[in-house]
Amino acid sequence: MADLKTAFNAGCLNCGLQKICFPTGLVRNDITRLDSIVERKTPFRKGDHVFRTGQAFHSLFAVRAGVIKIYALSDSGEEQILGFYLPGDVIGLDALTHKMHVYNAIALDTTSVCAIPFDQLEVLSLQIPALNHQMFCLMSKGVNEGRLHSEILSKRNADQRVAHFIWSIAQRFMNRGYAYTEFRLGVLHRDVAAFLGLTPETVSRILAKSAQDDLVHWKRKEVKIVDVERLRALAGERNVSAEVTDCRVKSG
């Protein structure tokens, strides 16, 4: 039982996501201190909400396993999706200004998260400069994320948006050391549409074309990138990568 608990509740020090997630750039001792305030929650099941619009903000959440979707509901009740979050990603940063959550976060799969109480994190952060720096980096990353998404929505056509989406997910798997040309992705096509400002019909047509052209095959939840180079070209990254994994300061 003790062993099982250890495996399941592996602390930050044993966590495979150390290089991606919060502890990036921290020394062993600091990680231990961070670890002491982290609450490992029991996993969410598909469809469970991690938080909802209007709820008071208390904690940031780091994804350990699964996928979380962040979305808003318009007056007319339609979903506007703002992002998908994979293991190692941190969500909730946006809630700080409002002291409450402005968006909904829902698990798309069985998903486990670490909750980091913000008031404790803030105190600890003041004591550990590297952690404070890491906080700034995480938030800066969040700013970039929104900017990049705005760029995609305002200047790219439907094919390019879908290509960019698939390629950006692939890159994130790559950065985590997973297979990235063939992977399982529990995201509905309609969710992709709602994220990219398109309709499900359009996404469906584009994926049909992609399969026919042997660019990408995405059937059920299995994604297989056939022609990486053509996908990259179509996705059209600017010079800046979609994801930054490391912004450590060299410390003396």
96 binds its own copies (CB under 8 A): yes
49 binds DNA (CB under 7 A): no
Residue type, 49: H
DSSP alpha helix (H) spans, 156-235: 158-175, 189-196, 200-212, 228-235
203 binds DNA (CB under 7 A): yes
Distance CA 230, CA 155 (A): 19
Going residue by residue from 132 to 171, which x/- string records binding to its own copies, judged by CB under 8 A?
xx-xxx-xxxxxxxxx-xxx-xxx----------------
Query: Angle CA(11)–CA(104)–CA(13) in degrees, nearest 5?
Result: 10
| Interface with its own copies in residues 44-73 (CB under 8 A) | 53, 72
Query: Tokens 């009740």 identify what position?
Result: 77
Radius of gyration, alpha carbons of the chain = 19
**In angstroms, how far is the first alpha carbon of the chain from the final one?**
42
| Shortest separation between residue 240's beta carbon and DNA, angstroms | 23
| Shortest separation between residue 49's beta carbon and DNA, angstroms | 15
Provide the greatest CA pair distance for the chain: 56
Q: Which of 51, 61, 84, 103 binds its own copies (CB under 8 A)?
A: 103
Candidates 54-62, 64-72, 100-108, 200-208; binding stretch for DNA (CB under 7 A): 200-208
236 binds, among DNA, its own copies, none (CB under 5 to 8 A by kind): its own copies
80 binds DNA (CB under 7 A): no
Residue 82 or 112: which CB sits closer to its own copies? 82
83 binds DNA (CB under 7 A): no
Sign of CA dihedral 86, 242, 73, 160: negative
| Shortest separation between residue 116's beta carbon and DNA, angstroms | 30
SS3 content of the chain, % helix, strand, coil (to 5): 40, 20, 35
Q: How many CA atoms lie within 13 A of 176 on its CB side?
A: 22
* Cβ-contact 100, 56 below 8 angstroms: yes
Distance CA 148, CA 235 (A): 12
Residue 17 or 130: which CB sits closer to its own copies? 130
207 binds DNA (CB under 7 A): yes
| Interface with DNA in residues 152-181 (CB under 7 A) | 157-159
Residue 85 or 112: which CB sits closer to its own copies? 85
H or E segment to which residue 155 belongs: helix 129-155
List residues near its own copies by CB under 8 A.
53, 72, 74-75, 78, 80, 82, 93-99, 102-103, 122, 125-126, 129, 132-133, 135-137, 139-147, 149-151, 153-155, 196-197, 236, 238-240, 244, 247
List residues near DNA by CB under 7 A.
46, 157-159, 188-190, 197-205, 207-208, 219-221
